[in-house]
Amino acid sequence: MKIKSLFLGTLILFCFACKPSGTSKKFTVNTKLTAFSHQTKLDTFKIELKGSTSKEMSLHFTIITHNGIEIYKDELKANELLKNFIKSADIKDEAKKVKFLEDEANYFFAEEHFLVPAVLTTEIADKNVPDKAFYEELKKSQLNGFSYRLSKDLNIYLAWSAIDKKVKVYYKCC
């Protein structure tokens, strides 16, 4: 009987010792496979929402080629995202802020963000094109693009430059 009591006591202590503390981190991870740096081979797009409170959360966005090479990385701080949206949305309390950030992580890979191709041959560069030569390269290569929003008024458009062998911004706009 003493052995059972001792075993039960040890088991209870072990369970409390292994119980996660209130500082555990919350993670939301979404991935999508799509042609990006190559016409037919699929790259991995990954978004992670890390942190347990809106003040410490951030979105980590990466693109990894079909052969495992990371070609793009961006970290979007939750405070910056919230600051850009808070006036237009009802996100005053912590629960609504966290929900908004989770929704942003889920919306990140909406089909409308994957642009096939990045630039149509009939499109003309305008004032929102930071690199006109790259824009013309995309017209010829017909590689796909991807867009994501930094605020309700600013979207970043990315594509792979076969000439420069890196991901570049080809459009910044509303």
What predicted TM-score, i.e. pTM, was given to this entire model?
0.81
Query: What is the C-alpha separation between 58 and 73, in angstroms, rounded?
Result: 13
95-133, pLDDT tens digit by residue? 888 888 999 999 999 999 999 999 999 999 999 999 999
61-88, pLDDT tens digit by residue? 999 999 999 999 999 999 888 888 766 5
Question: With bands split at pLDDT 50, 70 and 90, how would you rate the model's confidence at 60?
Answer: very high
29-37 own/partner pairs: CB under 8 Å, 24+ apart:
30/105, 30/106, 30/108, 30/109, 32/109, 32/114, 34/114, 34/144, 35/144, 36/63, 36/143, 36/144, 36/146, 36/159, 36/160, 37/63, 37/65, 37/66, 37/71, 37/143, 37/160, 37/167
For residues 82 and 54, is the Cβ–Cβ distance under 8 A?
yes
Question: With bands split at pLDDT 50, 70 and 90, how would you rate the model's confidence at 160?
Answer: very high
Q: Which residue has the tokens 């999508």?
A: 32
pLDDT of residue 89: 60
For residues 155 and 172, is the Cβ–Cβ distance under 8 A?
yes
Q: CA–CA distance from 65 to each of 57, 133, 154 (Å)?
A: 26, 24, 26
Q: What percent of the chain has pLDDT over 90?
A: 66
Indicate the domain borders of the chain. Answer: 23-173
Rounded to 5°, the CA angle 21-24-25 comes to 175
Query: What is the C-alpha separation between 111 and 38, in angstroms, rounded?
Result: 19
